[in-house]
Structure 1
Amino acid sequence: MAEIPTDPNENPTEKNIPKNKQGSKIIYRYVISFSYLHLAALYGLYLCLTSVKWPTIGFGLLMYHITIIGITAGAHSLWSHRSYKAKFPLQVILMVLNSMAFQNTTITWARDHRVHHKCSDTNGDPHNANRGFFFSHMGWLMTKKSDEVIKQGKSMDMSDLYNNPVLRFQRKYALPVIGTLCFILPTFIPMYFWGETLNNAWHMNILRYVTVLHVTCCINSVAHKWGYKPYDKNILPSQNVLLSTFALGEGFHNYHHVFPSDYQASEFGNKKLNLTTWFIDFFAKIGWAYDMKTASEEVVRNRAERTGDGTDLWGARDNNNYKIIEKVE
């Protein structure tokens, strides 16, 4: 495994940038779309409790987990941060799973995320947490990007993604690929294989889609508001163990902003709540994932002692001294 850069100031642009005080132009067609999706998801929850078949519920849970993996291991770790490399078959798998999640194309998702890390919680951040909980959670998806966000996006080097044939294919055929994988197939499968009704299958899939969207959006909102800061107490991103449970390992957000290139996105590869790391490690064993970047234990401990708030991985204090839970193998 390759070790990530150990520069203690590797996120210098997170500070000293003026906060955004401007309002945003609302995109009403997106407001209407999100309103429908949430009403349909609530109806799906009702159907889940009244008439949906058990296999459909199980299928929805499976879809929840694999589509989050498409975001965490794919759009996030592989393509936004380049924290590991993947051979062609794994890239295709991750593109398919990412399309099932439908949070825009991977190239657009990665561009916004790279801008977020460059300009975290400032005027240049697409989902600036200083503009309020709702904006950072989902409001930014329904408003026009500020001039500064657009400027930062245009300045971002995206050549590695534009030159990727798998991502070019997803981008070129976004409507049929994402439409089929996210909405048509997950509705058709329960109907064909165990006789679920169209009404139940459709609304259960929308419930799954909206739930995944909210969980990933919580990284931008919840993890920037509540939690502990063992590695840098001067930034908003925080450790949130509960969120990590639902986001399959992505709740160790204070660590991630300090060491963004660590493929594990958590302290010392802790795997208790980190199904994303399990996924990448499995494909590393069969040779489809390689060159995983990690932060050395010494660098992580030193950073925690220098700028952390004194909490450990789980948020417990030990006489106000920093304490690390041993690495889980």
Structure 2
Amino acid sequence: MPPQTHVVDDAKVEEHAYMWTQDKMMGTEKKRYKFKMQRIIYLIFFHSLTLYFLIFKPTAPMWQSHLWTFFYLCFSGFGISAGIHRYWSHKSFKARMPLKVLLAMCFAAAGQEKILNWVRDHRIHHKFSETEADPHDSRRGFIFAHFGWLVVQKNPQVYEKGRIIDMSDILSCPVVSFHDRHFEFLRAILCFAIPIGVPVYFWDEDLWISFLYNCFRFAFVLNCTFAINSFAHMRGTRPYDRNFMPVDNSYVTYVTMGEGNHNYHHAFPFDYRSTEMICFNPTKSFIEFFQNLGWAFDLRVASDDMVRKRVLRTGDGSHKFWGTVGGVPVAADENLSAY
């Protein structure tokens, strides 16, 4: 039985207040960056240990550690894709208290940032994408979009535009308040102590190996998140809106558990699926699993008609069903999102 969803089919749904053009990109001035040394050292530390673990392989982890790390990688990954992104940033579904707590724990396991800061930056990114106000403006190049934006002082426009972003829902959420108030403690426990300690305590894994393996897990999830800001804004197709810099990138989809259909996501950010296609999308299944438990409800989707009209009006012709041949729109296949 297909999940019950809240279909959005309002022609007046506000589209993003931006257009990316070649002229804007070419007109971007070179920046003089003020670096944040503490973050630079932090990133170098964990990535150096990750490279040491992958290249030199001091000792092979036990098979139980492989299973545990895969589980914890997914656990923390869902904190990004389902939690901080689709739930808190875009409100694409509603969650009952047990799911809110679980998503906050998953997000803390990723060890990235306070919920308030992450959501604010992401909402600014959507409203002012590829402008001076975009925290990780991809017009500044791959390195800046991938991780550079984290280690330099933000453009004053980011702070200025950030003041007009509505954060009332985040500020009023008790789970967010608890998470952000105890962020350092929760990160220490859920991102480091538990994933490192469990293999050592339960199956006598070597402490050094467990530590290195968790460094790899942490860095991998971090770079998967970064890939959405870099690869998914530079390499791929624009089947839903050719005027947006974000693209659909199947490789990013696989490493982020369904977040790589980024052109679709920027066209319909409220859709809990982040795509209308049937494809690799564990995050969609994760949300629907908790809907079946009664913990998630009011899942929002873009209607077939809304998607089709957008594709035919602004797409680049690469849509699988509603593309173009010689500039002539192809007839739409029926009911693509009824699954």
TM range (shorter): over 0.9
Distance 1:236 1:18, change over 3 A: closer
1:225/1:88 CA distance change after superposition, 3 Å: same
Partner in structure 1 of residue 301 of structure 2:
294
Deviation track 1:157-193 (CA, whole Å, cap 9, x = no partner) reads: 1111111000100011111111110011100001001
| 2:262 corresponds to 1:253 | yes
Would the aligned equivalents of 1:45 and 1:204 in 2 still touch at CA under 8 Å? no
Q: Which residue of 1 aligns with 2:7?
A: 3
Once residues 24 and 146 of structure 1 are traced to their aligned partners in structure 2, the CA distance between those partners, rounded to angstroms, is: 9
Aligned twin of 1:234: 243
Offset, 1:46: 3.9
Which structure 2 residues correspond to residues 150-299 of structure 1 after superposition, within 5 A?
150-268=159-277, 270=278, 272-299=279-306
**Whole-Å Cα distance in 2 between the matches of residues 215 and 96 of structure 1?**
19
Residues 162 and 313 of structure 1: is their aligned pair in 2 closer, same or farther, counting only changes over 3 Å?
farther
Q: Which residue of 1 aligns with 2:48?
A: 39
In 1, Cα distance between the equivalents of 2:66 and 2:190?
Answer: 18
Give, in whole Å, the separation in 2 of the partners of 1:209 and 1:318.
44
**TM-score scaled to structure 2, two decimals?**
0.90
- Note the C-alpha offset of 1:119: 0.5
Cα deviation digits, residues 213-243 of structure 1 (max 9, x gap): 0011100000000001101011110001111
Determine the structure 2 residue equivalent to 1:111.
120
Structure 1 residues 48, 163: closer, same or farther in 2, change over 3 A? farther
Give the match for residue 124 of structure 1. 133
State whether residues 101 and 212 of structure 1, in contact with CA within 8 Å, keep that contact through their aligned partners in structure 2: yes
Q: TM-score, normalised by structure 1?
A: 0.93
d(CA) in 2 for partners of 1:300, 1:158: 28
Q: Distance in 2 between the 1:190 and 1:120 partners?
A: 42
* In the alignment, structure 1 residue 81 sits paired with structure 2 residue 90: yes
Distance of 2:116 and 2:317 partners within structure 1: 37
Q: Distance in 2 between matches of 1:164 and 1:2?
A: 22
1:58 paired residue among 51, 54, 67: 67
Residues paired across the two proteins, number: 327
Distance 2:331 2:70 in 1: 35
1: CA distance between counterparts of 2:300 and 2:254?
23
Quote the Cα distance in structure 2 between the aligned partners of 1:107 and 1:77: 14
| Correspondence 1:68 to 2:68 | no
Greater shift, 50-59 or 238-247, is seen at 50-59
Q: 1:313 to 1:101 in 2, by over 3 A?
A: farther
Does the 8 Å contact 1:228/1:315 carry over to 2? no
Instruction: Among all aligned residue pairs of Structure 1 and Structure 2, give the percentage whose two residues are the same amino acid.
Output: 36
Distance in 2 separating the partners of 1:301 and 1:316:
10
1:96-115 superposed Cα distances (whole Å, 9 cap, x missing partner):
00000011011111110000
Task: Quickly say closer, same or farther: Cα 1:165–1:80, change in 2 above 3 A.
Answer: same
CA distance in 2, matches of 1:250, 1:323: 27
The residue correspondences of 1:20-35 to structure 2 (distance < 5 A) are: 20-21=28-29, 22-35=31-44
Stretches of structure 1 lacking an aligned partner (at least 5 in a row): none
Question: What 5-or-longer segments of structure 2 have no aligned partner?
Answer: none
Cα separation, 1, equivalents of 2:253 and 2:267 = 17
SS at 2:18 equivalent: helix
Q: Which amino acid aligns with 2:140?
A: R
In the alignment, the residues of structure 1 paired with residue 43 and residue 210 of structure 2 have an alpha-carbon distance, to the nearest angstrom, of: 19
Mapped to 2, the partners of 1:48 and 1:316 lie a distance apart of 47
